[in-house]
Structure 1
Amino acid sequence: MKTIVITGGTDGLGRALAVNRLRRGDHVVVIGRSHTKFAALGGGEFLPADLTLISENHRVLEELGDRPIDALVLAAAYASFPRVTTAEGIEHNFALYHLSRFLLADGLHDNLRATPDPVIIDTTVPGAPAGAIHWHDLNLEHGYTWKAANRQSRRATFLRAAGRTRENPVPHVLISPGFVRSSHQGSLTGIRRGLVTLLARVAGTAPERAIEPLNALIDQPPAEPLTAYQGRKRLPVEIGEDTLADAHRLAALTGELLSPRTR
């Protein structure tokens, strides 16, 4: 039996994975916001949290304590198309798609290392361009677009994982599951939501099928410290000195951003 921690485990891909692992007899810890959706899973352990808040991520880490964890699946998703800041003053997408992943992956490193074959699976889509980080405006107070926020968060997640490749880290996988049929949580309204719903019906992958490569990675984690996938297709990962320099710079800036908000 494995212990699997899943963020965003009450909907879509995360929910399908939670249900599947529960049926296998694993202990599944679901981190999410809806008690009602969790109850429908029929099992597991629920840690309610708003992962856009730094304080909530710290609380989750405290509640998980030092228990051994076999797999951390970072699947929480909520797209905010207009610029929105959290109650802590952080741009929403950067808070959820970078800071939360940064805190949980780092904070649970020892928990994962306590098991024989640990893995971090992150549904961040690989391939954001090298110039996506707004070094002097991480909060995107100027010139915000959803595309810019999305690219920056994806690149930031890659840089953090890349920066740890020389530290004997837990294997970290960036994987794009493709377009998955789900409720598509986010600030979708009107025509945009209608188009996304229609596209999901026509071209979307059922969550139960989309989790197959995730299950394979949990059962047999890669040996390399950082890998990337598009579904089952392995993608090249290039980590040069420029990438490592950017990773170090981002880690320092993230530390400064977190320091006044550690509790």
Structure 2
Amino acid sequence: MSTIVITGGTDGLGRALAAHRLRAGHTVVVVGRSETKFRELAKNGDAHFVKADLREVAENLRVTKEIATRFPVVDTLVLGAAYVHRDRQMTSEGFEHNFALYYLSRHIFASELQEVLGAAERPLILDTTVPGAPEDAVRWDDLQLERGYSWKIANLQSRRLGLLSAFRLASDHVRYVLYNPGFVRTSHQGALGRTSRAMVGVLAKLLGTPPEKAISPMLDLIENRPEVPLSAYLRGKRLELDAATAEEAERLHRETARLLGEVAKRT
């Protein structure tokens, strides 16, 4: 049996995946904010919960350290935490919300758990960062988007940063998949207005794939991981990866190390 770590595992896609792996007899570690939601999952199987606000760097570092200590081998890491803010929101550590949750959190998990992933026979990182952001999506001189913010700009930037991080972290042993699950019928967590939430709910019922069905391609990737270090998928369909260079990925690595160093100095 294997060990799988799932961020955002108390709702929607992550919850369905956690429930399936538990029924199959695997060890499941869920990272999320609601222990109440987790308790229903934990009734059967080897389930573990780590409570955290993954927008905060300190929380990500605390959680990854705890997981690495408790679970010396992690076979699969699923990065699926999501929460939508349409307006510009800042974390207590001074990071723009999308940058913090959709880039920094995923980067820290994938980086800090490299050793326990490396101890597995066939390790896989399955990241729900949607592939397909343009090369000019990153505002290198304004990563926190202080000027001209829009949700679309923030979303595209975090997706491009996710690709560059994956480009650097993927290896012949630890495979990395950028995975677009498509429109899934979930609770769509986020600070949405009443009208927006109602519209999303209607669309989800009409067009969304039920989570229990949407996890099928993910399970296939877990059982039959790709042969290349880094790949991208839309459901079960292999996609061409966006262009990325080692120089661009290294630039992001240096800038991320600088930002994390500043956080460490303040704590």
Bin of the TM-score, shorter chain as denominator length: over 0.9
Q: Tell me which residue corresponds to 1:5.
A: 5
CA positional deviation for 1:244: 2.1
8 Å Cα contact 2:56/2:100 also seen in 1 = yes
1:69-116 Cα offsets, whole Å, 9 max, x none, are 000000100011110001111101100000001100010011011010
Letter of the 2:177 partner, please give it: V
Letter of the 1:89 partner, please give it: G
State the distance in 2 between where 1:168 and 1:119 align.
11
Q: Tell me which residue corresponds to 2:226.
A: 222
Q: Tell me which residue corresponds to 2:257.
A: 255
SS of the residue 2:120 aligns to: coil
State the distance in 2 between where 1:175 and 1:234 align.
9
**Partner residue of 1:133 out of 138, 152, 164:** 138
State the distance in 2 between where 1:61 and 1:196 align.
33
**Partner residue of 1:58 out of 58, 61, 68:** 61
Q: Tell me which residue corresponds to 1:88.
A: 93
Q: Following superposition of structure 1 onto structure 2, how do residues 1-263 of structure 1 map, counting pairs within 5 Å?
A: 1-41=1-41, 42-43=43-44, 44-66=47-69, 67-165=72-170, 168=172, 170-239=174-243, 243-262=245-264
State the distance in 1 between where 2:106 and 2:51 align.
16
Give the TM-score taking structure 2 as reference length. Answer: 0.94
8 Å Cα contact 1:33/1:50 also seen in 2 = yes
State the distance in 2 between where 1:236 and 1:80 align.
29
CA positional deviation for 1:169: 5.5
SS of the residue 1:94 aligns to: helix
1:178-201 Cα offsets, whole Å, 9 max, x none, are 011111001111221111111000
CA positional deviation for 1:237: 1.9
> How much identity, in percent, do the aligned residues show?
52
**Structure 1 residues 83 and 169: alpha-carbon distance in aligned structure 2, compared to 1, 3 A threshold:** farther
CA positional deviation for 1:236: 1.1
SS of the residue 1:40 aligns to: helix
State the distance in 1 between where 2:110 and 2:55 align.
15
8 Å Cα contact 1:162/1:239 also seen in 2 = no
8 Å Cα contact 2:131/2:241 also seen in 1 = no
Unaligned 5+ segments in structure 1 are none
1:106-161 Cα offsets, whole Å, 9 max, x none, are 10011011010100000111101111001000001111100000000000000111
State the distance in 1 between where 2:67 and 2:83 align.
23
8 Å Cα contact 1:171/1:221 also seen in 2 = yes
Give the TM-score taking structure 1 as reference length. Answer: 0.96
State the distance in 2 between where 1:207 and 1:244 align.
36
CA positional deviation for 1:238: 4.9
Which stretch shows the higher mean deviation, 250-259 or 198-207?
A: 250-259
State the distance in 2 between where 1:98 and 1:85 align.
14
State the distance in 1 between where 2:174 and 2:140 align.
27
State the distance in 2 between where 1:145 and 1:180 align.
24
CA positional deviation for 1:65: 2.4
Letter of the 1:93 partner, please give it: N
**Structure 1 residues 104 and 185: alpha-carbon distance in aligned structure 2, compared to 1, 3 A threshold:** same
> What is the RMSD of the two structures over their aligned residues, measured on CA atoms?
1.2
